[in-house]
Structures are given as structure tokens and as C-alpha cells.
Amino acid sequence: MKIPYGISDFGQIRDEGFFYADKTPFLPILEAGYRHVVFLRPRRFGKSTLVSMLEHYYDLARRDRWDALFGGLWVHEHPTAQRGAYLVLKAGFVRTFYATLKSWTTSAVARMFVTGVSPLMLDDLSSGFNIATHASMSPRLAALAGFTRADTERAVDEFLAARPALASIGTSISE
């Protein structure tokens, strides 16, 4: 098993066989309840990988890579109607950018996912970007980024399955 430390590009993670904690079951939840989302988490919590997965899933230009990128993941068997339906614009964070983003939502931008490191100054969100749903504390999205206990257990199981000698050491110690 390969750990994608420092790699957040979903395409590279999938193409090169790195471990990936599947966050695709959240796609229908995001589509059904959130149009313009602000999602904050601490550093090194998987936000960039999450955004990259969203980019690969929704990007019209990547529709032809569907099986290679999403085969074996939950969404491959449960695709949504919005899969590969958008031209994706990826932009870096600029504080005064919120007002510009808001103006785009009336004509050109159908969906938006904004992420950042918490704490983030949300003062511009009060007027410049008051159309967003601040979903960071939503119980439905608690496991959207980062590793759950089940993700961690799966990673350890895969790691030990690839290294039987290490697995037997753990058995010897516990006996």
C-alpha cells in the first residue's frame, strides 16, 4: 500500500494506486442540500484532495476517465445526474474574491465549493458572499474530509496484508 503523503491530486492518487479514503458517498448529499458551500477544516485534513476529487467528478473534460478514476469507489455504482456536467474553474483564495464569486452565481456558476483552513476570517461572507452555506459543522458532513476510524482501520489492514511478516509480529506480541 502506498500512502499519498503530500499528494492531493485525485487523478494521480488513483492512477498511481495510492491509498484513498472514499469520500464519494457524500456527493449526493452535497448535491441535494448544498449549492454554494463553505467548508473549513484544520491543515492536513484532506481538503485539497476532496476538492480535487470534486473537480475530477464534475469536470466535463474528464468524463472519458470515469472508469479509471472512479472504478471501485462507491460513486462508480451510484453516479449522480451531475457527473461530468460542468466546466470546472479552479481558483486560489483571495479575500476580496468572495464578491466576485457571488456575482458569477447569477449567470455562469451553477455550483461552488469553497474550502479553507480554520480559523478563517468570515467577515466578507456576511455581505460579499452571503449566499453560501457554512457546512463545516454539519453532522451530515463530519467525515467529508480527513480519516474516520473505519478509514484508518482499512489502511492498517491493507498495509499489514501487503506485509505478512509484520502482521505475524503483532500476533506474536499479543499472545
Q: Which residues contact 154 (CB under 8 A, 6 or more apart)?
A: 21
Cell digits for 71? 472504478
Is pLDDT of 125 > 60?
Answer: no
Who has greater pLDDT, 70 or 109? 70
pLDDT at site 53: 94
pLDDT at site 151: 87
CA dist., res. 15 & res. 4, Å (int): 12
Q: Is the pTM of this model over 0.95?
A: no
**What percent of the chain shows pLDDT beyond 90?**
32
Domain boundaries, the chain: 10-174
146 by Cβ neighbours in 10 Å (0-12 / 13-18 / 19+) ranks as middle
Confidence band (pLDDT; 50, 70, 90) for 30? confident
Contacts 24+ apart (CB under 8 A), 166-175: none
Who has greater pLDDT, 61 or 146? 61
pLDDT tens string 127-175: 555 556 666 667 777 787 878 888 889 888 888 888 888 767 755 555 5
Instruction: For residue 146, give the nearest of 48, 55, 15 by alpha carbon.
Output: 48
